[in-house]
Amino acid sequence: MGLIKDTYPSALLEEAVEAIGSLPGIGRRSALRLALHLLRQPAENVHRFTDAVNHLRDDARYCKTCMMISDGEECSICSDKSRDRRTICVVENIRDVMSIENTGQYHGLYHVLGGIISPINGIGPSDLTIAELVSRVAGLSEDDPDSVEVIMALSGDVEGETTAFYIYRQISRFGVKVTSLARGLGFGADLEYADELTLGRSIVSRQPFKA
């Protein structure tokens, strides 16, 4: 690395490689490859690329209801009147929303936490949109709380469980239904290769056989 750094033929190239290499998962070698690629592209293509990145960072807004990235005040999902407005699926980030939307199985709304409680990474409840979720649930539960469902769609690791539990303690008092994603063997998964925790859970929460 040091050696490579020492022999950059151009400060402009070095700065671009540093910048590209600062992206997660892109090492210095890939960064150099990408920089030389961009150098070979027509200027307008490169500007279209950098403009798109700048626009995203400068002009992106967040839905006032679910905190998802949105081009307007309210995202396309929250403003879709055909969706079940009393079911809220709590997810860590936008990618999770996109994954669940891709299943076509969910017709409620979302709440994007913007992260997960992680003491190791110094992320506490106040760094997430939990307060917004709580007041949102409070509002919904004012009439007929039984008809409100909050689905915890967080990862199955310790941090996900911790976050789900923290949120549960905040909203359970409103008497709304709180559920979480079913855990078990993936469809078509081979028993032999399932980790013990997943397998164990799939036994405990076994379901009536459907023939």
Asked if 82 interacts with its own copies (CB under 8 A), we say no
**C-beta closer to its own copies: residue 72 or 175:** 72
A 10 A CB-CB count for 41 gives 12
Is residue 47 a contact residue for its own copies (CB under 8 A)? yes
* Out of 9, 186, 188, 208, the residue judged to bind its own copies by CB under 8 A: 9
Looking at the Cβ atoms of 2 and 208, the one nearer to its own copies is 2
* Of the candidate residues 73, 80, 84, 98, the single one contacting its own copies (CB under 8 A): 98
53 touching its own copies, by CB under 8 A: yes
Q: Is 123 in the site for its own copies (CB under 8 A)?
A: no
Does 170 bind its own copies (CB under 8 A)? Our answer is: no
Question: At its nearest, how many Å lie between its own copies and the CB of residue 168?
Answer: 26
Rounded to whole angstroms, the Cα distance separating 89 from 83 reads 12
Element (H, E) at 31: helix 28-40
Tokens of 195: 């980790």
Count of C-beta atoms within a 10 Å radius of residue 177 = 13
Segment near its own copies (CB under 8 A); pick from 69-77, 117-125, 142-150, 179-187: 69-77
Beta strands in 27-148 (DSSP E): 61-62, 69-70, 84-91, 108-112
Per DSSP, the three-state class of 148 is: coil
| Cα–Cα distance for residue pair 74/78, rounded to 1 Å | 6
Cα 12–chain centre separation? 35
146 part of the interface to its own copies, by CB under 8 A: no
**Residue 121 makes contact with its own copies by CB under 8 A:** no
- Half-sphere exposure at residue 194, Cβ-oriented, CA atoms within 13 angstroms: 17
**Contact positions toward its own copies, by CB under 8 A?**
3-4, 7-13, 15-16, 18-20, 22-25, 30, 32-39, 41, 43, 46-50, 52-60, 68-71, 75-77, 93-95, 97-98, 101-102
